[in-house]
Every structure is written in C-alpha cells, then in structure tokens.
Amino acid sequence: MPKSKFNRYSLKHNLLKKVSVSIDFDGLTNVDEFINALKRNELADKFAAYRKVLPPNASRMGTENRAYNYDGVFINNSYQEIKHLFFNYTGQDTKDNVELVLNSSNISILIDCVDYKNIDIYLDLIHSLIKRLLDIDAFVKIRNIGIRKIGAFEHTKVAEVFKVFLPEMFTMSEHIPLNITEKVKCLRTSYDDTLVFLEQYPVLVNLKRLVRHLQDPTTKEHKLQAILDIDGHIEEKALSQNMPNTSADDVMNALKLTNEVLFETFKMAVTQQYLEQHGCI
C-alpha cells in the first residue's frame, strides 16, 4: 500500500519524544491582563500549577526563541524576560507531561510524550488562547507559527533500527559495518536539510537526522539510536499575505497545515514496512 494512503490517525504507534507548538506575536500592551484572563477562563481547568520564571541572566539578551538539543532538553531563551509557566496538566486524561509558557511575545506548548495520541487537543488549546489574545488587544499581530516534533528509536541491532527509519535518509551505509568497542563511547552523525512546501502558506521545514551509538555505563551494552527532528514554521510575510485580518481560526488552519506537512515529512523518513506494521486503513 503506498505511503500516501496512511494518515496521522491511521498510525497506531508513536515514535515521538518531544512536541512543541509556538506562536510569536507583537503588539500586546498588557501581558498581565492576558495572563489573568486566561487563569479565570481558558486555563482554569487545564493546569493545576503556575509560577513566574525569572530570566537566568537579565543583563544578557537572548536571540534564540526556542530550541531542543538532541538529548531532548527544551531550551527557551525567548527575549530573556519574565515567563509565565503553567504546569501539572489536567486538561485531558493523558500521561504526557505538558507545560504552557507565555510572555509578551510568545505562546508555547511543550509536550514530553509519554502516552501521546495526536496533537489535536493541544491545537484546540492554542486556538482558545489565540482567540483570547486577539479579543484582549486588537493591535496584536501574529509574526510566526511553528510546530516541532522529535522522534527516536534505538535498538541493539542496527537492522532493527532501519526497519523503522530509512537508511538512505540517515546516510548510514558507511557506518553500519563499524565495529564498536568499549573504547568508543559514542559516535554521532547528523544531517540537515531545509525544505519548503508550497501549500496555501509556504511551510518551511528544517529536517535533521542524527545517528549515535549509546552505551549503558553499567552493562556496557551498545545501542544504535536514530533521531528524527522536524521543525516546521510559517513566517510573517506569508502569514500577512494570506490572512491580513488575523483571526484565531486563521491561525488554527495554518497550524493544521503545518502539522500535515510535518506528517508527510515523517513518512518520507520511515520505511514502508513500519507504516504497514503499525498503520491501519
């Protein structure tokens, strides 16, 4: 069955470790008013805990808005200002660890995938937050939207890893015969591509692949791990051209489009065997 027949609802196996959804915006006059409105309404039954997070070094201005390193640690240096962190997610019956981070120019949902089913409930939450944001301040302008997903699979046998991921996507042929000994603690090989999907909005995709050898410090057992990191976003110019009068529904549609592009990219990187084994049509 061709890969095109599989959609994100038909796949019943999850490789994802981390997911983030991020919205950048300008023009919010009073972030405290926005936060207080969310506490009383949209977030009242979604999170059990909240705290303000002060920047680690207020004298240094960060330039990176959001990033994951390859060990799955989320790094958010958004403008080095006070962040409003909501955690202990209670919105759905899920084991996923979900956090919401807001400041005067960014909304981000960060998901550690434990029992991840799909992104829909988190996009619905973003939709409600954007609606509240636009209702509170008519001068808000959406500057960038993005979704990032990091998946991984590891096994002691190389062949098992590449029953999941396509070897040619990870350019592993020269490393497969490598004889790993105890003197080799970790071997990392990474590849980056930038793609553009010309849909209703041009969706830019940063596609990263990493292969590394892991060794258990106790048992000395070696595993090969393949990591797929897909970051898709729509930039300000494309958003302005396609939704001059921004609405929450416009943002939601753009996020759904980005998510579908990420799934199509994911299918490019996995094997036909994996899709047929874990998908149902």
pLDDT in tens, 194-216: 999 998 889 999 999 999 888 88
What angle separates helix 120-136 from helix 248-269, to the nearest 10 degrees? 150
Residue 218: HSE in the Cβ half-sphere, 13 Å Cα cutoff: 0
7-13 contacts, C-beta under 8 A, 24 or more apart = 7/263, 8/118, 8/259, 8/260, 8/263, 9/118, 10/279, 10/280, 10/281, 11/275, 11/278, 11/279, 12/278, 12/279, 12/280, 13/274, 13/277, 13/278
Query: What's the pTM?
Result: 0.85
Whether pLDDT at 281 is above 80 = no
Residue with tokens 């020269």: 174
Q: What pLDDT score does 154 carry? A: 94
Q: Is the pLDDT of residue 64 over 60?
A: no
Burial class (CB within 10 angstroms; exposed 0-12, middle 13-18, buried 19+) of 106:
buried
Range scoring the smallest mean pLDDT among 142-146, 152-156, 171-175, 250-254: 171-175
Structure tokens at 224: 């090969």
Residue type, 245: N
71 has pLDDT over 70: no
Residue 137, Ramachandran bin (φ over 0: left; ψ between -120 and 50: alpha; else beta): beta
Q: Are 141 and 246 in contact (CB under 8 A)?
A: yes
Q: Note the pLDDT tens digit of each residue in 131-144.
A: 999 999 999 999 99
- pLDDT given at position 99: 97
Per-residue pLDDT tens over the stretch 239-269: 988 887 889 999 999 999 999 999 999 999 9
pLDDT for residue 187: 56
Neighbouring residues of 67: CB distance < 8 A, sequence distance ≥ 6? 74, 75, 76, 77
For residue 279, the 8-state DSSP code is B
Q: Match 């899709």 to its residue by tokens.
A: 275
Contact 150, 227 (CB under 8 A): yes
**Residue 26, helix vs strand vs coil:** strand
Burial 152-179 (b: 16+ CB within 10 A, else e): bbeeeebeebbbbbbbebbebeebeeee
What was the pLDDT predicted at 106?
Answer: 96
Q: Is the pLDDT of residue 59 over 50?
A: no
pLDDT band of residue 108 (cuts 50, 70, 90) is very high
Specify the pairing of strand 141-155 against strand 188-198: unpaired
Q: What's the pLDDT band for 280 if we cut at 50, 70, 90?
A: low
